[in-house]
Amino acid sequence: MKKNILSIIAFWITIIAQAQQISDGFSPVITDFSTPLKSGVYSGLISRGTIPDATHDWSHLFVIRHSNQTNNYQLQIASSYSENDRLFFRKIAYNWDLSPRNTAWIELATRDSNNFKGNQIFEGNLGIRTSDLTSAFSVGIDHGVVLSIGNSNWAKKDIIQTGYNDQVGDFTDIKVPGYLYNDAFVRVLRSGNVGIGTSTPDAKLAVNGNIHSKEVKVDTNIWPDYVFNEEYNLPTLAEVENHIKEKGHLHNIPSEEEVLKNGIHLGEMNAKLLQKIEELTLYVIELNKKNEQQFLEIENSKKQIEVLKKENGNFKMILEKLKIN
């Protein structure tokens, strides 16, 4: 869009230059850019309605005015006299009235920093180049995003950085004068590691904070169903008790000190916990068998007692009869 506008400007300037010389070849000086002006080129000195670039008192103005003299339709393109000037445009428009309307200047381009208003839509490829790949694309001032885009050397720099500028300095890897995002919100390193809430991700995804998810899938290459194999050496409960007394934690389960220092791996820890659950299941099955055996023995003992009681009753009856005789 900007390229097309610049082409149109160049086209009109070429036509005017080839068609005729303006007066003595120098632009007339005016003091009001918003008044109904005739098509042409002008110079302004601290003019009313001039561009927002205040780096110089003088400014250049290019005007295309509608042929109808009863309205104030103008296309204006202007810049200051500054060497590193900025280029602005506006469309003054007002039906059947010579008053100015839509007088806000929009920055079109500059040889330094650009400040564009409104949505910028690109249909096609967008090329951004930088010689040192420091910050080819950045958004924000104190809270912002830095995106490194470049040629084949782009992989030498971190790709994306967002965060809060809490002190003056440089990025660790992306050298941006005046900015140091120590507490990065999101950072993508050239290694492929992604950090959320940390500027030094040590894994493909490192999150310094809570994770809210509907589901987490963990791939693993081991699962403790080997506990149910006949050759598995199931520790006795006495061995488990002795280990707890000596170590203060279950066998093959990290201690509190280890977890606080190194954290846990979800896949590995779930496998270890399942191993303990399966071992507990075997203990429960074994205890249940013993309980069933004891129940049968108790029931058998009860039957024997009943038999003895019955026999004892019969014996007492025999004794009573002998006494009577």
Strands 40-48 and 58-65: antiparallel
- Give the separation between CA 248 and CA 269, rounded to whole angstroms: 18
HSE value, Cβ hemisphere, 13 Å, CA-based, for 78: 30
State the maximum Cα–Cα separation within the chain, in Å, rounded to a whole number. Answer: 167
> Can you give the pLDDT at residue 165?
47
Distance CA 278, CA 276 (A): 5
Residue 47's pLDDT is 83
pLDDT (0 to 100) of residue 194:
87
**Do 189 and 158 form a contact (C-beta atoms < 8 A)?**
yes
Residue 198: predicted pLDDT? 80
Which residue's structure tokens are 């506990």?
227
The Cα–Cα gap between 201 and 225 comes to: 34
CB of 158 closer than 8 Å to CB of 173: yes
What backbone phi and psi angles, to 5 degrees, belong to 93? -145, 130
What are the residue ranges spanned by the domains of the chain? 2-110, 137-207, 224-309
Below-50 pLDDT ranges, the chain: 1, 15, 18-19, 132-136, 140-143, 149-152, 154-155, 164-182
Residue 206: phi and psi, rounded to 5, are: -120, 125
What type of residue sits at position 35?
A: T
Alpha helices in 149-191 (DSSP H): none
Give the distance from CA 292 to its chain's centroid: 59
DSSP letter assigned to residue 235: P
Here the contacts of 52-55 (C-beta below 8 Å, separation 24 or greater) are 52/88, 52/105, 53/79, 53/80, 53/82, 53/85, 53/86, 53/88, 54/80, 55/80, 55/82, 55/85
Q: Please give the pLDDT value at position 195.
A: 85
What is the pairing mode between strands 194-196 and 186-188?
antiparallel
Mark 38-68 as b/e (b = at least 16 C-beta within 10 Å): eeeebebeebebbbebeeeeebbbbbbbeee
90-145 tens-digit pLDDT: 998 876 678 888 888 988 887 766 666 677 777 776 665 555 444 445 554 444 55
Other C-beta atoms within 10 Å of 238: how many? 8
CA count, 13 A, side-chain hemisphere, 44: 26
Q: Which residue has the tokens 């120098």?
A: 26
